[in-house]
Structure 1
Amino acid sequence: MKMIKAIIREERVPFVKKALTDKNIYGMTLLPAMGRGSQGGIHLQFRGGILNIDMLPKVMMEVIIPDDLEETVIHQILSSAKTGREGDGKIFIIPVNESHRIRTGEVEV
């Protein structure tokens, strides 16, 4: 199993959710996040001064999938989250050894 962790723009979440659902991938966790990458935030001219916003709102999406869906999920996220502008986000792939369903005690390896 793999955990796909994607940090994406808030406004792209509906598109990513639909892209994953179209491939029958329904389970996901969404968390609000603040972050910055190579763009270093944004700098705005405001009332004669410069306003620096160095942490931008993002969403962290986590999806646990079988190994054979890794490329599909990555492709779906890349194609639906991309705007072509700095700050589109990043995808991380993390191995998952096993999971335990709390309600039933079922173990998935």
Structure 2
Amino acid sequence: MSANDGEVKLVMAYIRPDKLGDVKKALADVGAPSITVTSVSGRGSQPARKGQYRGEEYTVDLHQKTKVECVVADIPAEDVVAAIVEGAKTGEPGDGKVFVLPVESATQIRTDKTGPEAV
């Protein structure tokens, strides 16, 4: 039986782009098998910033973030979450959020393996 009781989990985090290196190291330390990284922008509880460009005021309410996704079956999702929090935390607003979702099915294209064996 796997560390997630036979379930496959998707751990999805939105972090500060400058913390990606620390998060990758923390994930490697807990044995996270693979990650997918995407540059995204979004709005959460982090306050909007106002600025001026050529005399015009503008509001920046979409902040640049890095989305990190990790599908796990053989290691506990809680360990992956703890590693992301450890690597991403600055203690300031805008550190990000981590979500854990169940994965309904998984198939490895090359081998046709399914479920936890596909991860």
Shorter-chain TM-score category? 0.7 to 0.9
- Checking the alignment, whether the CA contact within 8 Å between 2:37 and 2:66 is kept in structure 1 is yes
Task: Work out the CA distance in 2 between the residues paired with 1:50 and 1:79.
Answer: 37
- Checking the alignment, whether the CA contact within 8 Å between 1:2 and 1:67 is kept in structure 2 is no
1:54 lines up with 2:61 in the alignment: yes
1:84 lines up with 2:91 in the alignment: yes
Structure 2 unaligned spans of 5+: 1-7
Q: Give the aligned length.
A: 109
Q: What are the equivalent positions in structure 2 for 1:4-43 lying under 5 Å apart?
A: 4-43=11-50
Task: Work out the CA distance in 1 between the residues paired with 2:34 and 2:74.
Answer: 15
Q: Deviations over 1:32-60 (max 9, x none)?
A: 10011112432246777644211111111
Task: Work out the CA distance in 2 between the residues paired with 1:5 and 1:69.
Answer: 14
Structure 1 unaligned spans of 5+: none
Aligned to 1:19, what secondary structure does the other structure show? helix
Bigger shift: residues 1-10 or 63-72: 63-72
- Checking the alignment, whether the CA contact within 8 Å between 1:3 and 1:64 is kept in structure 2 is yes
State the Cα RMSD in Å.
1.9
> What TM-score results when the alignment is normalised by the length of structure 2?
0.81
How high is the sequence identity, in percent, across the aligned residues? 37
